[in-house]
């Protein structure tokens, strides 16, 4: 950090992406393998060095000639190739890179990874690597939903593998649609560079000794034993905020609704389901120096939860749900007395009049800041890797350019650290 004449600002320096990164791309045997050609082009345009390993199945969809022409490197395929082993060696290949990307990752390949197989070059490299691994699944929706795939994905996430996608849409097979498409190349590029941002050296201890409380994800408000009301939130932005705060030296409590994300290192996580549970967890976590309310809390819950599944009947009308308002967690915490955090930050997810609604929310909730974003389906913010936000404070509005959620999180937390320092300096 830099300190001079009572002025504080977080250390910036050069962007960690300013130097080329070495990326090993493992191309799996799925029809979406053709997207890897575009992926290689985009990564090379950004100055990254790309080397490719192709599985035997990948040869059915793209050729080593086309992959090699784009990478300007020899494409590696065989674990027992004497020339490759003499020149490179699979152990060196596993270590001599900054990131390994697997795309498309088929159900079979995911199963091999989860089981620790090493019977070909690709799996041997993955088992021997000590570098970050990013997996981009692509398969039929039924295969993605299968309990075996769910178990394998959960195991890989527990092992620290990062996963992007799959996306929803039409499949190659006629009449097949759902969750299983390989994410689009721009999203995959953003996820790759997001890994490098997360792996960047720590920016210091500017929040050391501070407690940061963050809420994230949706809440699930039960209707009956199997149905619930919820918002479409992946929790990614909240998890990145928690990681950024921990990176800056804070003690972090992350209260999260139901999500499927890898836990940030060095963060205390409290998992809840409903808005009422989230409120109680937030109260229990206080006091805090900074509170960031990034969760997409359901505004309403049903007044009476049915103890048995509500049955559909051809003769009966559709059931009427009587709703009641959920507690406004941001408003409750922001209006508290002695335990009110010194900096309270709310999020406003809107689909229209984004800045106007955020300004109104800043005043009505008694928040210090509101981070507003447009979550219309066309933006891809919900569940995506990027975000475009507006920071609304008492001083005005700052509109930030589109950037990864990792960068948004770091920028917010660095600004929060500046604000705390300024308040402390003013108090002294």
- Show the tokens assigned to 29: 């045997």
Is 289 in the same domain as 374? yes
pTM > 0.85: no
pLDDT confidence band for 7 (50 / 70 / 90): very low
Is 258 in the same domain as 298? yes
Is 324 in the same domain as 414? yes
Residue 109 lies in a domain: yes
CA terminus-to-terminus distance, the chain: 20
Q: Exposed/middle/buried for 233, CB within 10 Å: 0-12, 13-18, 19+?
A: buried
Residue 9 lies in a domain: no
Is 380 in the same domain as 266? yes
- Consecutive H or E run containing 289: none
pLDDT, one tens digit per residue, over 250-290 is 999 999 999 877 778 789 999 999 999 999 999 999 999 99
Domain count, the chain: 2
Residue 83 lies in a domain: yes
* Closest by Cα among 65, 70, 14, 15 to 42: 70
Is 181 in the same domain as 222? no
Lowest average pLDDT, out of 138-142, 197-201, 316-320, goes to 197-201
231 is catalytic: yes
pLDDT at 338: 79
pLDDT, one tens digit per residue, over 375-405 is 777 776 666 778 888 999 988 899 999 888 8
Residue 20 lies in a domain: yes
* Pairing between β-strand 133-137 and β-strand 49-54 as defined by DSSP bridges: unpaired
**Cα 108 from chain centroid?**
25
Q: Please tell me which residue in 231, 326, 373, 387 is annotated as part of the active site.
A: 231
Is 229 in the same domain as 133? no
Tokens 């995959």 identify what position? 188
Looking at 166, 198, 230, the residue that finishes a domain is 198
* Pairing between β-strand 267-271 and β-strand 251-256 as defined by DSSP bridges: parallel
* CATH code at position 82: 3.40.50.1950
Residue 101 lies in a domain: yes
- Show the tokens assigned to 88: 């490179």
Is 21 in the same domain as 154? yes
Looking at 143, 175, 198, the residue that finishes a domain is 198
Structural contact between residues 137 and 102, judged by C-beta atoms closer than 8 angstroms? no
- Show the tokens assigned to 236: 């990614």
pLDDT, one tens digit per residue, over 295-315 is 999 999 999 999 989 888 777
pLDDT at residue 17 above 70? Answer: no
Residue 381 lies in a domain: yes
Residue 163 phi, psi (nearest 5)? -130, 130
> Under DSSP, is residue 138 helix (H, G, I), strand (E, B) or coil?
coil
Tokens 């320096």 identify what position? 13
Q: Which residues pair with 325 in a beta bridge?
A: 300
Distance, in Å, from the CA atom of 177 to the CA atom of 169, rounded to the nearest integer, reads 5
Distance, in Å, from the CA atom of 383 to the CA atom of 223, rounded to the nearest integer, reads 24
Residue 385 lies in a domain: yes
* CATH code at position 274: 3.40.50.10300
Neighbouring CB atoms inside 10 A of 91's CB total: 13
Q: Which residue segment(s) compose the domain that 250 sits in?
A: 211-309+316-427
Is 187 in the same domain as 231? no
DSSP 72-119: TSPPB--TT-HHHHHHT-HHHHHHSSSEEEEEEE-HHHHHHHHHT--S
Distance, in Å, from the CA atom of 76 to the CA atom of 84, rounded to the nearest integer, reads 7
pLDDT at residue 174 above 50? Answer: yes
Q: Which residues, 6+ apart, have CB-to-CB distance to 327 below 8 Å?
A: 275, 276, 279
Is 82 in the same domain as 32? yes
Residue 204 lies in a domain: no
pLDDT at 2: 28
Looking at 169, 198, 227, the residue that finishes a domain is 198
* Pairing between β-strand 290-293 and β-strand 267-271 as defined by DSSP bridges: unpaired
pLDDT, one tens digit per residue, over 57-91 is 988 998 989 889 998 888 887 766 655 555 556 67
CA atoms within 13 A on the CB side of 243: 24
Is 328 in the same domain as 271? yes
DSSP letter at 58 equals G
Structural contact between residues 330 and 365, judged by C-beta atoms closer than 8 angstroms? yes
Is 113 in the same domain as 49? yes
Q: Which residues pair with 214 in a beta bridge?
A: 254, 292
Residue 232 phi, psi (nearest 5)? -85, 85
The radius of gyration of the chain from alpha carbons, rounded to an integer in Å, stands at 24
pLDDT at residue 11 above 50? Answer: no
pLDDT at 154: 87
pLDDT confidence band for 6 (50 / 70 / 90): very low
Structural contact between residues 218 and 231, judged by C-beta atoms closer than 8 angstroms? yes
pLDDT confidence band for 425 (50 / 70 / 90): low
């Amino acid at each position: 950090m830099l300190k001079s004449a009572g002025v504080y600002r977080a250390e910036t320096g050069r962007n960690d992406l300013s130097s080329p990164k070495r990326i090993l791309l493992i191309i799996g045997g799925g029809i979406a393998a053709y997207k890897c050609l575009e992926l290689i082009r985009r990564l090379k345009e950004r100055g990254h060095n790309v080397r490719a390993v192709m599985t035997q199945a990948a040869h059915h969809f793209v050729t080593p000639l086309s992959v090699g022409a784009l990478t300007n490197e020899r494409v590696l395929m065989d674990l027992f190739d004497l020339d490759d082993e003499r020149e490179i060696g699979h152990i060196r290949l596993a270590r001599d890179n900054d990131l390994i990307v697997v795309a498309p990752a088929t159900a079979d390949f995911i199963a091999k990874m989860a089981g620790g197989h090493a019977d070909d070059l690709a799996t041997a490299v993955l088992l021997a690597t000590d570098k970050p691994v990013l997996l981009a699944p692509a398969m039929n929706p039924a295969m993605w939903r299968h309990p075996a795939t769910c178990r394998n994905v959960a195991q890989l996430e527990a092992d620290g593998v990062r996963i992007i996608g799959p996306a929803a849409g039409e499949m190659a097979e006629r009449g097949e649609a759902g969750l299983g498409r390989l994410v689009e190349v721009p999203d995959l590029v953003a996820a790759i560079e997001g890994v490098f941002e997360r792996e960047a050296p720590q920016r210091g201890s500017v929040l050391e000794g501070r407690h940061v409380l963050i809420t994230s994800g949706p809440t699930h408000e039960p209707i009956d034993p199997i149905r619930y009301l919820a918002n479409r939130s992946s929790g990614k932005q909240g998890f990145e905020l928690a990681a950024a705060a921990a990176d800056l030296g804070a003690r972090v409590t992350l209260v999260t609704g139901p999500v499927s994300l890898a836990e940030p290192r060095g963060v205390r996580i409290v998992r809840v389901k409903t808005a009422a549970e989230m409120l109680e967890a937030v109260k229990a976590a206080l006091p805090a120096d900074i509170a960031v309310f990034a969760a997409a809390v359901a505004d309403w819950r049903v007044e009476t939860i049915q103890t048995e599944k509500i049955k559909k009947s051809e003769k009966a009308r559709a059931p009427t749900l009587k709703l009641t308002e959920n507690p406004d967690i941001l408003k409750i915490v922001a209006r508290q007395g002695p335990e009110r955090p010194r900096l309270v930050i709310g999020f406003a997810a809107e689909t229209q009049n984004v800045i106007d609604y955020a300004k109104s929310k800043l005043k009505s909730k008694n928040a210090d800041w509101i981070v507003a974003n447009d979550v219309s389906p066309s933006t891809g913010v919900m569940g995506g890797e990027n975000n475009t936000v507006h920071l609304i404070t008492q001083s005005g509005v700052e509109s930030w350019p589109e950037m990864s959620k990792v960068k948004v999180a770091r920028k917010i937390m660095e600004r929060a650290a500046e604000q705390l320092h300024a308040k402390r300096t003013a108090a002294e």
